[in-house]
Structure 1
Amino acid sequence: MISRNRTPSRYVYYGLHLYFSGLSLRKASERLSQMYKRNHVSIWNWIQKYRPQKLKASRRRILEYIVDETMLKVGSEYIWLWVAIEPANRQILALSISKERNMFVAERYLSNLIKVHGKHPVSTDDGGTWYPMACRFLNLDHHIHSSYEKSVIERTMQYIKDRTESFDDYFPCRIKNCKLKHVRNWLRLFVDYHNNEIKHVN
């Protein structure tokens, strides 16, 4: 995929995952070498060739956005993870993090979402007022999750949370006032991997 030495793509992804999770190049290569022998220079080369891209507009017709947020722990602090998926193919359309959860953050998140994918109805849970207010401001149709939509987003959120526990359990952030760049990079890599896996399954 990325490397010239024909390293299987799953090991390239795992090496990038380790680095983006906060390990040094040498520590990442040590972990990776427990399964597949590669030195820190190999991982450095993969990083140079990997460019986390903003999510592109889906080629499929989007019926609606299923949107939700959840709390994650990064080091000693908590952050909010915002996720939007498309119900038909279950691909992640947008993913963002913030240190606050309110109408202004929701409006900015939805605004960035429609810049990429256009205006579509928004489905959310009934737990907060920030989504209805943000949708009203952006002139978006808003409704509460159906039972199907709720099950789809809950499975997706749990899937993400299961795989982001490494932030706190294995790679705690010790940088004071961290800007969370490594978290954003890891999440972009995760979305790339997740959407490609969904695409192959479909």
Structure 2
Amino acid sequence: MITRNKTPSKYVYYALHLYFSGLSLRRASERPSQLFKRNHVSIWNWIQKYKPQKMQSRRRKVLEYIVDETMLKVGSEYIWLWVAIEPKNRQILTLSISKERNMFVAERFIGGLVKFNGKHPVSTDGGTWYPMACKFLGLKHHNHSPYEKSIIERTMQYIKDRTESFDDYFPCRVKNCKLSHVRNWLNMFLDYHNSEIKLVK
């Protein structure tokens, strides 16, 4: 939840909703101006303070893990974003970032999924780091079907569109950054995205 903020939480969530719907920070601050007046810096601060609900407070029914990774730019460096979704409800199961892409990172990422959701088949794009990671974890592995490829690619593009906006407005200038602000942002994105899917259904 939002802490140390005098603005009513319903207004905070409304502003965040506007932002994650694709508006810039300035536009997200202008739209609700008839209800309350806050500038784009206030919304940025809400993003930093936001603590997403524990989406994994209980196990969800999972048919399989559709996993993929993509490169993102944070400031002057590039990082890897790892994403896992569930094909039936299309919710994002988890997001993770790393500065390297290899079998050990893939194993750690998928292992986190298994620890909470149990063992299920893993679908990937055929990256060479996935089969061995799945073998070590005792999981069945296969390449994406056309349907699986379609939904994971749409999800990845949706995330990339949002993260590009984030880096344009607030590029990281910290040397040897620990990327905690990126993790906080992605956690809020995951919370919002999954909540929206539930509402649609």
Q: Shorter-normalised TM-score: what interval?
A: 0.7 to 0.9
Counterparts in 2 of 1:73 and 1:40: CA distance versus 1, 3 Å: closer
Separation in 1 of the partners of 2:16 and 2:166? 19
1:91 has 2:91 as partner: yes
Alignment of 1:132-147 (within 5 A): 132-147=131-146
Tell me the alpha carbon deviations over residues 60-99 of structure 1, each in whole angstroms, 9 at most, x when there is no partner.
4211000000000011000000000000010000100000
TM-score (ref. length: structure 1): 0.81
Q: Partner residue of 1:79?
A: 79
Q: Partner residue of 1:34?
A: 30
Query: Which stretch of the first structure deviates more once superposed, 76-85 or 168-177?
Result: 168-177
Query: Which stretch of the first structure deviates more once superposed, 5-14 or 88-97?
Result: 5-14
Asked if structure 2 preserves the Cα contact closer than 8 Å seen for 1:57 and 1:117, the reply is no
Separation in 1 of the partners of 2:48 and 2:130? 38
Separation in 2 of the partners of 1:191 and 1:133? 28
Q: Partner residue of 1:67?
A: 67
Q: Partner residue of 2:166?
A: 167
Tell me the alpha carbon deviations over residues 23-82 of structure 1, each in whole angstroms, 9 at most, x when there is no partner.
xxxxx7x77543331269976995797423554066542110000000000110000000
Tell me the alpha carbon deviations over residues 152-185 of structure 1, each in whole angstroms, 9 at most, x when there is no partner.
1011111111111023322211111111111000
Which amino acid is 1:7 matched to?
A: Y
Q: Partner residue of 2:117?
A: 117
Counterparts in 2 of 1:136 and 1:93: CA distance versus 1, 3 Å: same
- The alignment-based identity, stated in percent, is 73
Residue ranges of structure 1 left out of the alignment (5+ in a row) = 18-27
Asked if structure 1 preserves the Cα contact closer than 8 Å seen for 2:47 and 2:185, the reply is no
1:11 has 2:5 as partner: no
Separation in 1 of the partners of 2:131 and 2:38? 50
Shift of 1:5: 6.6
Counterparts in 2 of 1:31 and 1:181: CA distance versus 1, 3 Å: farther
Counterparts in 2 of 1:62 and 1:31: CA distance versus 1, 3 Å: same
Which amino acid is 2:87 matched to?
A: P
Separation in 1 of the partners of 2:195 and 2:54? 15
Q: Partner residue of 1:197?
A: 196
Asked if structure 2 preserves the Cα contact closer than 8 Å seen for 1:73 and 1:167, the reply is no
Query: Structure 1: which 4+ aligned runs deviate by more than 4 Å?
Result: 12-17, 39-49, 57-60
Which amino acid is 1:11 matched to?
A: A
Asked if structure 2 preserves the Cα contact closer than 8 Å seen for 1:16 and 1:46, the reply is no
CA RMSD of aligned residues (A): 3.0
Separation in 2 of the partners of 1:49 and 1:172? 18
Residue ranges of structure 2 left out of the alignment (5+ in a row) = none
Asked if structure 1 preserves the Cα contact closer than 8 Å seen for 2:51 and 2:188, the reply is no
Separation in 2 of the partners of 1:48 and 1:76? 21
Q: Partner residue of 2:186?
A: 187
Counterparts in 2 of 1:70 and 1:16: CA distance versus 1, 3 Å: closer
Which amino acid is 1:91 matched to?
A: Q
Separation in 1 of the partners of 2:45 and 2:103? 41
